[in-house]
Amino acid sequence: MRLLHVITLRLSLLATLILFCWSVFFYYTIMNEVNDEVDDSLEDYAEMIIIRSVRNEALPTASSGSNNQFFLREITPQYAAQTPHVRYEDRDVFIEEKDEFEPARVLTYIFQNDDGKFFELEVSTPHIDKKDLRGAIFYWIVFLFLAILLCILLLNLWTIGHSMRPLRKLLRWLDRYRVGEDNRPLDNPTRIYEFRKLNEVVKESIERTEVAYEQQKMFIGNASHEMQTPLAICSSRLEMLLEDPSLTERQMEEIVKTRQTLEQLSRMNRSLLLLTKIDNGQFADVADVNFTESIQRLLPDYEMVYASKNIRLQTELQGDFIVSMDESLAQTLLSNLLKNAFVHNHEGGEITIKATTDSLLFENTGAPESLNKDYIFERFYHSSDNRQSLGLGLAVVKAICQRYGLRIDYAFNNGKHAFTIVKN
């Protein structure tokens, strides 16, 4: 989830909680204020009736015909002792003039006159229906909540979206950045301290990565170059040992195995050295290379070498695929793809090669499952069924394609592995 959406969601939840608490507080505050005003009126009315009763003056009618009405009755001392002398409550009372029950606020007083008698006075006045008030408050709170929430969402999206532009720009730059390539410098001015600091940290990290990458390339190149001579000497000495007539058959087998391992190490060393040279741009010669013609020249040799596998070869060379690049690298690219199609195929398999003016396709049978697209072009990657490969052939192909603006894709369709080179 994007940062903008996370912040918006959290602010919305917080606003919902705050508005809910505020609405509850607002409701009880309004009701208390309404009750206070009504209670004051009832107290004044009850006080007037009590004073007239104590003075034996004429009392108003039990129901005034308007809002207020009262009921006065004598009670026993026991009832007076067991009952609170002042009570406030909300209940429905019967209005004789209207012949119906209405919600009212009721005040009940218990008092004693000069004769020692106890009386209970109940005064009431109709008021607004609290259920209606609660419903009205609820609907208006919901309306207010939705309006405020919409405003919060819009303002939040605009404010945070505007403030996050430097971060989005930095992320786009990092997404396009490729170590070891010619990348555009980061141009991301901002007045926000955290983003300025983030820009500085990213630049410093990129610089350290570039330095480490260059040191790694230099080390691999130097190590590969220095290893060539010792490997060649070791191989020569093993060949000389094989000519010794005093060797037993067991010793000769071990020497042959050691020589094969040494040759594999030598091939790996040459591939690493080639990758380093490609990365360093040491192949400066450029010429128009016709891949279609090169394929026609190379195929007979590979068919002869791998004739024992009885692989059926089909070519559809419909156009000249021409690229301006170093001729030796073009031969390396084709050789690696052709070798990959033959070596990783099964006996009696098929290979299809298609060429047009804009693309090259190498398709072959082989492993019954698709290879991992995320790692197939990485160095030293091996498929699960083949551990004898160096894992550098496709890495070299990918490096050459990147060097000359070509794109190579992998797909697995109908049980066949397909590698496609396309001009960008």
Domain extents for the chain?
3-150, 194-279, 287-423
Contact indicator for 360, 317 with CB cutoff of 8 Å = no
Q: What is the CATH number of domain 194-279?
A: 1.10.287
The residue among 284, 301, 12, 350 whose CA lies nearest residue 157 is 12
- pLDDT of res. 409: 92
CATH architecture of the domain formed by 3-150 = 2-Layer Sandwich (3.30)
- pLDDT of res. 410: 92
Which is higher by pLDDT, 221 or 337?
337
- pLDDT of res. 282: 67
pLDDT band at 386 (very low <50, low <70, confident <90, very high): low
pLDDT digits (tens, 9 = 90+) for 103-143: 788 888 888 887 888 888 888 887 766 677 777 777 887 78
Determine how β-strand 350-355 pairs with β-strand 312-317.
parallel
Token pair for 158: 């605009």
- pLDDT of res. 233: 81
CB-based contacts of 317: which residues, under 8 Å, 6+ apart? Answer: 292, 295, 296, 353, 354, 355
SS3 226: helix
Q: Is 65 left (phi over 0), alpha (psi -120 to 50) or beta?
A: left
Token pair for 1: 């989830």
Please state the rounded mean pLDDT for residues 285-293: 88
- pLDDT of res. 83: 87
**Largest CA-CA distance found in the chain, in angstroms, rounded:** 149
- pLDDT of res. 161: 81
pLDDT band at 232 (very low <50, low <70, confident <90, very high): confident
Lowest mean pLDDT, pick from 118-132, 181-195, 199-213: 118-132
Q: Which of 1-5, 134-138, 323-327 reaches the highest mean pLDDT?
A: 323-327
Does residue 70 register a pLDDT over 90?
A: no
Is 287-423 CATH 3.30.565.10? yes
Lowest mean pLDDT, pick from 156-165, 218-227, 260-269: 218-227
Determine how β-strand 118-126 pairs with β-strand 312-317.
unpaired
Does residue 262 register a pLDDT over 90?
A: no
SS3 364: strand
Rounded distance, CA 6 to CA 11, Å? Answer: 9
CB-based contacts of 133: which residues, under 8 Å, 6+ apart? Answer: 30, 31, 34
Please state the rounded mean pLDDT for residues 28-42: 80
Mean pLDDT of the chain: 82
Please state the rounded mean pLDDT for residues 227-248: 79
Which is higher by pLDDT, 62 or 112?
112
Please state the rounded mean pLDDT for residues 13-25: 81
Token pair for 172: 């786009």
Please state the rounded mean pLDDT for residues 369-387: 72
Rounded distance, CA 227 to CA 279, Å? Answer: 19
Q: Which of 60-74, 137-151, 193-207 reaches the highest mean pLDDT?
A: 193-207
The residue among 373, 403, 409, 411 whose CA lies nearest residue 178 is 403
Q: Which residues pair with 110 in a beta bridge?
A: 120
Does residue 350 register a pLDDT over 90?
A: yes
CB atoms within 10 A of CB 393: 21
Rounded distance, CA 157 to CA 87, Å? Answer: 54
Contact indicator for 186, 199 with CB cutoff of 8 Å = yes
pLDDT digits (tens, 9 = 90+) for 351-368: 999 999 999 999 999 888
Lowest mean pLDDT, pick from 197-201, 264-268, 316-320: 264-268
CB-based contacts of 420: which residues, under 8 Å, 6+ apart? Answer: 359, 360, 361, 362, 408, 409, 410, 411
pLDDT band at 385 (very low <50, low <70, confident <90, very high): low
Determine how β-strand 312-317 pairs with β-strand 287-290.
unpaired
Residue 37 φ then ψ, to 5°:
-65, -45
CB atoms within 10 A of CB 327: 14
- pLDDT of res. 248: 82
- pTM score, two decimals? 0.48
Q: Which of 159-173, 203-217, 268-282, 341-355 reaches the highest mean pLDDT?
A: 341-355
- pLDDT of res. 65: 47
Beta strands per DSSP E along 96-242? 100-112, 118-126
pLDDT band at 61 (very low <50, low <70, confident <90, very high): low
CB atoms within 10 A of CB 52: 13
Rounded distance, CA 366 to CA 351, Å? Answer: 10
Percent of the chain's residues with pLDDT above 70:
91
- pLDDT of res. 422: 92
